[in-house]
Amino acid sequence: MKLGVIGYGNRIQDVITKIMKEDNACHIAAISDIRKHEIQQERLPQLMDTLFYDTPEEMMASTQLDGILIGTRCLLHTEMALKVLPTGIPLFLEKPVATTMQDLRRLKAGNDHYKSPVVVSFPLRVTSIVQWVKEIVDSGKIGTVEHVQAINNVPYGGVYFHNWYRDESLTGGLFLQKATHDFDYINHVLQMQPVSVCAMTSKQIFKGDKPAGLKCVDCTENRTCEESTAFAEPDIRDRWAYCSFAKDTGNEDSGSALIHYENGMHVSYSQNFFARKQAASRGARFLGYKGTVEFDFFTGSVKVFMHHTSRVETYEIDASQDHFGGDRMLASNFIELMQGRNTSISTLDDGLISALQCLKARKSAETRTFQTIDWS
């Protein structure tokens, strides 16, 4: 099967590796990327027979493709997706699906009109951990879920202050970068629609008066600064290059949201970007009247606490690789989509509602107001 790629970035390369591992009949037939000459010079074995194009339109007109993957920077996801949807070719779209409300509305209109097959890169919803939690919830074991407490303490948060991710005009902010995954798996487990959100963000650590554009290697404090990447491995040093205490460092370093759902219950969610090492945690508690189920991706544990007996059930799940196992599932599903053997397990509708929640949360934090989760 012939894969076409729009934006051959690091993340989409990982996804393609998983796809080709799942089915070695898949190969990269064509790439459209503004860095095409640089990519060609790397002489990667998997690209020896790949054709390179200046634009997606030229690529799609010149090469018969079985699937297309979009791995551009975030602000181009919508624009590129709208070029692909009219073709009906199965699409793998990186998250977030949009970074502004204007783009999100455009993408929704395109999705409503074309209804093309799309897999959105939401690996957490299809991990063995989340699927097991959903099975427990669906069984009625803990009763109807009446409250959710979710957290994401990111141990590698420096990437959002050293790297290009620090530029919010390119990413849409950290709700769209991280919470979009968490909101999606929560929606997936609950199978309910969110109706309103209030949110707050703080920037307490990664701020300062260092010169804009300063790189760690050029800073006089790079031997004492806890965040210095000047002496890291070359790959990290080159990609995490900029001072996280400079005037041009964007992004909040923590954020929280309260999300109200259609049945009256609410979810509390909090994310943090300066937690490190063993403080890492990502997971949630789903509370019903009969019991509580909780999980953590980093420990691979799921626990069920029964409220009216002393019984506690513990499950240990090995899910430490590939976004905790979800990437392989998405890769397999995309192959089936290209073969016409299945439908998407992570649809564009899912991507749209999660991005809508994130954009409304960001607006809530900026305006200190409650926001209705609608398309206005």
Q: Where are the domains of the chain?
A: 2-123+327-345, 126-319+355-372
Structure tokens at 360: 């409304």
Whether this model's pTM surpasses 0.85: yes
Polymer length in residues for the chain: 376
Question: What class does CATH assign to 2-123+327-345?
Answer: alpha beta
Half-sphere exposure of 364 (CA within 13 A, CB side): 22
126-319+355-372 fold: Dihydrodipicolinate Reductase; domain 2 (3.30.360)
The phi and psi torsions of 43 (rounded to 5 degrees) equal 50, 50
In which region does residue 209 sit, left (phi positive, over 0), alpha (psi from -120 to 50) or beta (all else)?
alpha
Distance CA 317, CA 211 (A): 46
Burial 185-202 (b: 16+ CB within 10 A, else e): bbbbbbeeebebbbbebe
Query: What torsion do the CA atoms of 88, 94, 97, 103 make, to the nearest 10 degrees?
Result: -80
Cis peptide before 96 (omega within 30 of 0): yes
Write the DSSP symbol of residue 215.
B
Residues 151, 12, 77, 333, CA torsion sign? negative
For the chain, state the CA radius of gyration: 21
- Measure CA of the first residue to CA of the last residue in the chain; give whole Å: 41
Residues 6+ apart with CB under 8 A from 359: 98, 100, 101, 104, 172, 175, 176
- DSSP label at 262? T
pLDDT tens-digit profile, the chain (376 residues): 999 999 999 999 999 999 999 999 999 999 999 999 999 988 888 999 999 999 999 999 999 999 999 999 999 999 999 999 999 999 999 999 999 999 999 999 999 999 999 999 999 999 999 999 999 999 999 999 999 999 999 999 999 999 999 999 999 999 999 999 999 999 999 999 999 999 999 999 999 999 999 999 999 999 999 999 999 999 899 999 999 999 999 999 999 999 999 999 999 999 999 999 999 999 999 999 999 999 999 999 999 999 999 999 999 987 665 567 799 999 999 999 999 999 999 999 999 999 999 999 999 999 999 999 999 8
* Residues in contact with 248: Cβ distance below 8 Å, sequence separation at least 6, in sequence order: 166, 212, 213
| Pairing of β 67-70 and β 2-6 | parallel
